[in-house]
Amino acid sequence: MRVEIYHGAVDSEGRIAHGVVEEMKHTGTSESDHLYGVQVACRDSGSRGFSVRVAAFHEDAILPYEQPWLVWQE
Protein backbone atom coordinates (compact mmCIF):
# COMPACT_ATOMS: atom_id res chain seq x y z
CA MET A 1 0.00 0.00 0.00
CA ARG A 2 1.17 3.51 -0.77
CA VAL A 3 -0.25 6.71 0.78
CA GLU A 4 0.25 9.89 -1.26
CA ILE A 5 -0.62 13.56 -0.85
CA TYR A 6 -1.44 15.77 -3.82
CA HIS A 7 -1.07 19.48 -3.12
CA GLY A 8 -0.68 22.83 -4.77
CA ALA A 9 -2.17 26.28 -5.35
CA VAL A 10 -5.94 26.40 -5.86
CA ASP A 11 -7.31 28.09 -8.99
CA SER A 12 -10.41 30.32 -9.21
CA GLU A 13 -12.63 27.21 -9.57
CA GLY A 14 -11.27 25.59 -6.40
CA ARG A 15 -9.14 22.99 -8.20
CA ILE A 16 -5.52 22.24 -7.45
CA ALA A 17 -3.54 23.75 -10.34
CA HIS A 18 -0.14 22.26 -11.20
CA GLY A 19 -0.14 20.03 -8.12
CA VAL A 20 2.69 17.93 -6.76
CA VAL A 21 2.49 14.30 -5.58
CA GLU A 22 4.54 13.23 -2.56
CA GLU A 23 4.63 9.84 -0.87
CA MET A 24 3.69 9.89 2.80
CA LYS A 25 5.66 7.77 5.28
CA HIS A 26 4.21 5.50 7.96
CA THR A 27 4.96 7.23 11.26
CA GLY A 28 3.34 4.85 13.74
CA THR A 29 0.05 3.63 15.10
CA SER A 30 -2.57 4.88 17.54
CA GLU A 31 -4.74 2.06 18.84
CA SER A 32 -5.90 0.41 15.58
CA ASP A 33 -5.14 3.42 13.32
CA HIS A 34 -2.06 3.73 11.14
CA LEU A 35 -0.54 7.22 10.99
CA TYR A 36 1.17 8.69 7.93
CA GLY A 37 2.91 12.03 7.53
CA VAL A 38 4.96 14.21 5.23
CA GLN A 39 6.41 17.70 5.47
CA VAL A 40 5.06 19.99 2.76
CA ALA A 41 7.04 23.14 2.05
CA CYS A 42 4.92 26.27 1.63
CA ARG A 43 6.92 28.57 -0.63
CA ASP A 44 4.22 31.09 -1.56
CA SER A 45 1.03 32.63 -0.19
CA GLY A 46 -2.56 32.13 -1.26
CA SER A 47 -5.13 29.35 -1.17
CA ARG A 48 -3.74 25.82 -1.14
CA GLY A 49 -5.44 22.50 -1.74
CA PHE A 50 -4.62 19.06 -0.35
CA SER A 51 -5.91 15.62 -1.28
CA VAL A 52 -4.78 12.22 0.00
CA ARG A 53 -5.08 8.85 -1.70
CA VAL A 54 -4.27 5.29 -0.73
CA ALA A 55 -3.21 3.06 -3.62
CA ALA A 56 -2.31 -0.60 -3.93
CA PHE A 57 1.43 -1.06 -4.35
CA HIS A 58 3.96 -3.83 -4.79
CA GLU A 59 7.48 -3.31 -6.11
CA ASP A 60 7.07 -6.17 -8.63
CA ALA A 61 3.73 -4.95 -10.04
CA ILE A 62 2.76 -2.05 -12.28
CA LEU A 63 -0.44 -1.45 -10.31
CA PRO A 64 -1.11 2.21 -11.10
CA TYR A 65 -1.33 1.21 -14.77
CA GLU A 66 -3.11 -2.12 -14.25
CA GLN A 67 -5.88 -0.65 -12.09
CA PRO A 68 -7.34 2.42 -13.86
CA TRP A 69 -10.13 2.76 -11.27
CA LEU A 70 -7.63 4.26 -8.76
CA VAL A 71 -8.14 7.98 -9.28
CA TRP A 72 -7.77 11.22 -7.38
CA GLN A 73 -10.86 12.40 -5.49
CA GLU A 74 -12.55 15.34 -7.20
Domain that holds residue 6: 2-64
Question: CB burial class (10 A; 0-12, 13-18, 19+) of residue 29?
Answer: exposed
Domain-embedded: residue 15? yes
Domain-embedded: residue 9? yes
Domain-embedded: residue 29? yes
**Residue 70: per-residue pLDDT:** 55
Domain-embedded: residue 55? yes
Domain-embedded: residue 33? yes
Domain-embedded: residue 46? yes
CA–CA gap between residue 5 and residue 24 (Å, rounded): 7
Domain-embedded: residue 22? yes
- The pTM of the full predicted model, rounded to 2 decimals, is 0.70
Domain-embedded: residue 69? no
Query: What's the average model confidence in pLDDT over 50-64?
Result: 78
pLDDT confidence of 65, banded at 50, 70, 90? low
